[in-house]
């Protein structure tokens, strides 16, 4: 199978302008995401998709394949959908699975990508998968920068929100709460991504600012896979400082040069 990862990245983040090139351990954040994604065993190739010349120049400097996209995309998934068609045109190869890896996940482990793809390899009827992880503090549960998810008994998503779901207001004890967050490693089948891109944007997608609600509102299923790797996405400069501290002894960083 031809499985690729696309890292959508743009300089104009509202919460952290210039975020993809913000340095962590003297390397731009998108570089960490690229090198770590390249280590995944199930991927044939990794691309950076951007509308910004600065990011394209950096991608070329590290030998990364870069796809230039329109500057009008509001959603990472829309940028990824444009990129996949351009990649197929350039390579002459049809893509089977595309993994959207957000450019603000500098601590991503390659095993996370492999485990996210696995349900689609086992069951071709699944068109979309997201990773999820336990929320370990009330502070994180309340944080609007942390997208939360609730799932059914088969671990298909019921709803995504930036509000603290499920609610703690009805007296549930902390030990009873199943608090889960979306981790932005998102495989799509080729057809699934193109269908998603053609669907009309939906009210809940816009209200929550979470792409996957579009799929749910249109009646499609999103398979969720639980992971327990210690990672931290970067939404703010404060997050960057925390991640830099966490990555000081990261063993994967030393392996980048070998790629």
The closest of 201, 232, 2, 216 to 102, measured between CA atoms, is 232
With 90 as the cut, is the pLDDT of residue 34 above it? yes
Average pLDDT over residues 79-85: 95
Average pLDDT over residues 14-37: 94
CB 229 within 8 A of CB 112: yes
Average pLDDT over residues 65-87: 93
Looking at residue 60, its pLDDT comes to 96
With 80 as the cut, is the pLDDT of residue 258 above it? no
With 80 as the cut, is the pLDDT of residue 171 above it? no
CB 43 within 8 A of CB 108: no
With 70 as the cut, is the pLDDT of residue 114 above it? yes
CB 126 within 8 A of CB 119: yes
Q: Are β-strands 3-9 and 129-134 bridged in parallel, bridged antiparallel, or unpaired?
A: unpaired
pTM for this prediction? 0.91
DSSP string, 167-191: -STT---GGG---EEEESEEEEEHH
Say what percent of the chain tops pLDDT 90.
83
Q: What is the CATH number of the domain that holds 144?
A: 3.90.550.10
Question: Which H helix or E strand runs over 76?
Answer: helix 76-91
Q: How far from the centroid of its chain's Cα atoms is residue 37's Cα?
A: 11
Average pLDDT over residues 30-37: 97
With 80 as the cut, is the pLDDT of residue 174 above it? no
Distances (CA, A) of 62 to 31, 47, 59, 117: 8, 12, 6, 26
With 60 as the cut, is the pLDDT of residue 259 above it? no
Residue range of the domain that includes 144: 3-258
Average pLDDT over residues 208-233: 94
Query: Quick one: pLDDT band at residue 175, thresholds 50, 70, 90?
Result: low
Residue 235: phi and psi, rounded to 5, are -105, -25
Least confident stretch, 74-83, 168-177, 234-243:
168-177
Exposed/middle/buried for 44, CB within 10 Å: 0-12, 13-18, 19+?
Answer: middle
With 90 as the cut, is the pLDDT of residue 13 above it? no
With 70 as the cut, is the pLDDT of residue 48 above it? yes
The closest of 193, 179, 185 to 79, measured between CA atoms, is 193
Instruction: Tell me the three state secondary structure of residue 197.
Output: helix
Looking at residue 230, its pLDDT comes to 84
Average pLDDT over residues 217-229: 96
> Into how many domains does the chain fold?
1
Looking at residue 184, its pLDDT comes to 86
């Amino acid at each position: 199978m031809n499985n690729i990862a696309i890292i959508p990245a743009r300089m104009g983040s509202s919460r952290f302008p210039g975020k993809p090139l913000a340095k962590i351990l003297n390397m731009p954040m998108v570089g960490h995401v690229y090198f770590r994604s390249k280590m995944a065993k199930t991927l044939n190739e990794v691309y950076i998709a951007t509308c910004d010349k600065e990011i394209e120049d950096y991608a070329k400097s590290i030998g990364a394949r870069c796809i230039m996209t329109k500057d009008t995309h509001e959603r990472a998934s829309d940028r990824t959908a444009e990129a996949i068609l351009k990649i197929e045109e350039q390579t002459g190869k049809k893509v089977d699975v595309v993994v959207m890896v957000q450019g603000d996940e500098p601590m991503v482990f390659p095993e996370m990508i492999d485990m996210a793809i696995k349900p689609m390899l086992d069951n071709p009827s699944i068109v979309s998968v997201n990773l999820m992880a336990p929320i370990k503090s009330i502070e994180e549960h309340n944080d609007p920068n942390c997208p939360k998810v609730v799932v059914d008994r088969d671990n298909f998503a019921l709803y995504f929100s930036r509000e603290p779901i499920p609610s703690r207001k009805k007296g549930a004890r902390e030990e009873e709460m199943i608090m889960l967050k979306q981790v932005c490693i998102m495989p799509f089948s080729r057809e699934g991504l193109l269908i998603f891109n053609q669907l009309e944007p939906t009210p809940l997608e816009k209200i929550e600012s979470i792409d996957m609600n579009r799929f749910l509102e249109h009646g499609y299923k999103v398979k969720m896979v639980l992971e327990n790797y210690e990672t931290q996405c970067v939404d703010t400069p404060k997050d960057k400082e925390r991640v830099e501290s966490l990555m000081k002894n990261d063993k994967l960083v030393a392996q980048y040069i070998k790629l």
